[in-house]
Structure 1
């Protein structure tokens, strides 16, 4: 019931915002802008899906922005300098994300560093590597085929949206219908109880971070494809958007709770907020304020919901 309430609340806010922007800007409902919202939502949704899995385990991943940037930059470099196809480059970008996820997982499970600190370090390392690899200069002169993931179409739909749907369905099935999902929720609800029940905590938690890294790598490649370049500055403060999307959709920062359908609604809401702010010529700084307030409200609502559940229980 609490899942449904969070999702309905987020969906209601999205509908209201959608209607308001339709009246506020004549450019909002154009086909080009809706296509742009779809592609923008795809990147946020895929990376927010990764964040949701980590949050369910009672963790957090602050490195998603820098890892997405590094993955997209490396993908662009292997296309431009090594002649890789866009699919091979995507595989490389995913591998970069998976490697970062493995580092995060090992830092949390083997080194026993709290997720906040571990991923904060990875965020710094990842951003530094991006600037080292690129020399702080964007990766340009890419073939037109590089735009397939971010700007291509499949059956009239943005290709990025199709990829998002595949990812969302796959991860939702994984979390709701498999042992992987049961272990993930169990660890977030009570780590010690999960360990005593026979859950291989270290191995499973590492696997969660690796899978999250895979999705971040894919999201970074889509983002690079959208602008047909590898941008070393991409993803700064992206962690705010994806955390907001996950929490708005019902994922609890206290662990053990969250669904992908809610995350998708949250991601769409954040993308529409960003898009509407651009159309209304609202400064990027004010956009950050808006997202921050949304996070406050979502976390406060989550706390109230948990207090009510505890009072009933």
Structure 2
């Protein structure tokens, strides 16, 4: 294999190579890493982030950004806990929580698409409002869910696979199909590539943009439900920094922040990279603050690799 072939191979599979390298390093560092219990814990812990990252991806594909996802996760967990505590039942509580996420996404999408406000500013404001709403309705305190309610979802398994991991898998399949095999997915990618051309072709760019923010809001609300199912409580502190992890997963997964480029499968790989980094540092009892530094360095290194391979692709 010559140098050109090696570069082309790295260019095509860089995201997967990053994952393989991280897995090998984790296996060499800790004998406790590659065990059923540890792998299951990773799946449970990062199922919510996977779903949130998929919602972030579809926004990024249009050239936008959504900083509110972590706050909507918190609002979703609090809404779910309060609804269950009021005794209205599991299904109605889930529907109400999803509708709140949908409403927050639609509101952000309306401001971005109809009023032409910058996505960064709009979602930054929504991030503040959603977090504030979570604190207000919970009175700033964790809300414990009733016994034998949402916790059953977090503890149950289907053929040995945690149910919340199965749910995340369903979302991955749905997003893969939507992005690659539907007209909506093609329009979303086209908007990120050349929004003006899409508009001139007669497609309603504004409605499609509203839709992607609504989808991101729903994904965040589902993320809140998943988190509440794992812990049995809803709290306004959930989701802090999750928007940054979701963006990092998209970047590691090769999504372009300028829009028009991204893959649902590679974003899942990005989440796995973040999950493995966090997991191995926990196994090694690394304090949380150094973990953030190490994670940041790895994100920068991954981004540099993506930038290098993209530059090679453009010059070949």
TM-score computed with the length of structure 1 as normaliser: 0.93
Change (3 A) 1:76 1:180: same
Following superposition of structure 1 onto structure 2, how do residues 86-105 of structure 1 map, counting pairs within 5 Å? 87-105=91-109
Which blocks of at least 5 consecutive residues in structure 1 are unaligned?
A: none
Other structure's SS at 1:144 match = coil
The match for 2:200 among 181, 196, 199 is 196
Change (3 A) 1:155 1:4: farther
Where does residue 308 of structure 1 map in the other structure?
312
The match for 1:264 among 261, 265, 268 is 268
Where does residue 65 of structure 2 map in the other structure?
60
Q: Is the 8 A contact 2:26 2:280 kept in 1?
A: yes
The match for 1:50 among 24, 46, 55 is 55
The match for 1:245 among 240, 246, 249 is 249
Change (3 A) 1:91 1:290: farther
Change (3 A) 1:119 1:16: same
Greater Cα shift, 39-48 or 258-267: 39-48
Measure, in 1, the Cα distance between the counterparts of 2:9 and 2:266. Answer: 9
Alignment root-mean-square deviation, CA: 2.0
Measure, in 2, the Cα distance between the counterparts of 1:238 and 1:3. Answer: 33
Q: Is the 8 A contact 1:77 1:139 kept in 2?
A: yes
Following superposition of structure 1 onto structure 2, how do residues 83-162 of structure 1 map, counting pairs within 5 Å? 83-85=88-90, 87-162=91-166
Deviation of 1:193 after TM superposition, in Å, equals: 1.1
Does residue 40 of the first structure (1) align with residue 49 of the second (2)? no
Where does residue 82 of structure 1 map in the other structure?
87
Deviation of 1:108 after TM superposition, in Å, equals: 0.6
Q: Is the 8 A contact 2:74 2:238 kept in 1?
A: yes
Other structure's SS at 1:82 match = coil
Greater Cα shift, 174-183 or 11-20: 11-20
TM-score computed with the length of structure 2 as normaliser: 0.92
Deviation of 1:6 after TM superposition, in Å, equals: 6.4
Deviation of 1:274 after TM superposition, in Å, equals: 1.4
Measure, in 2, the Cα distance between the counterparts of 1:129 and 1:76. Answer: 14
Change (3 A) 1:281 1:213: same
Where does residue 173 of structure 1 map in the other structure?
177
Other structure's SS at 2:150 match = helix
Deviation of 1:276 after TM superposition, in Å, equals: 1.5
Measure, in 1, the Cα distance between the counterparts of 2:308 and 2:182. Answer: 30
Other structure's SS at 2:140 match = coil
Where does residue 212 of structure 1 map in the other structure?
216
Cα offsets for 1:73-95 (capped at 9, x unmatched): 1011101123422x332222211
Q: Is the 8 A contact 2:81 2:145 kept in 1?
A: no
Q: Is the 8 A contact 2:98 2:221 kept in 1?
A: yes
Deviation of 1:232 after TM superposition, in Å, equals: 1.4
Change (3 A) 1:49 1:169: same
